[in-house]
Structure 1
Amino acid sequence: MDEDNSLTPSIRRKIDSMVRDLDSIVRLLQQASLEEVQLDIIEIENRINLMEEQLLSPSVSTNE
């Protein structure tokens, strides 16, 4: 848990935002059909890749 203490407020906000996004995605997937889920999985993979890039490059704006 020491890792949490070393995070800057900006990084913490980004992570919190990502967690909220993922929670929303999970709720939507629970209500979706199989085809919708398959399409959403592709979108999730793309978003996760973008999130990873944003965390590795904190100077990148996360405003969408």
Structure 2
Amino acid sequence: MAWTTQQTKAEQFRVRRECAERVPAFVFTATVRLDAVLGAFNTRDEREVVADPAFLDRVDQLD
């Protein structure tokens, strides 16, 4: 499961998915333990973090 550390980037992905696929999309926040991080990348200024979803703490949906 991929995440970004930038809320504005997450919102851009949400809007793009809703427009392209015509399905509802949502943005979530989560606390991620360091040992759950499988990789981190900053290609295209996306600040992406790949995390094992089994080890996410406190996942909340944003409005």
Q: Same fold (TM over 0.5)?
A: no
- Which is richer in strand? 2
- Which is richer in helix? 1
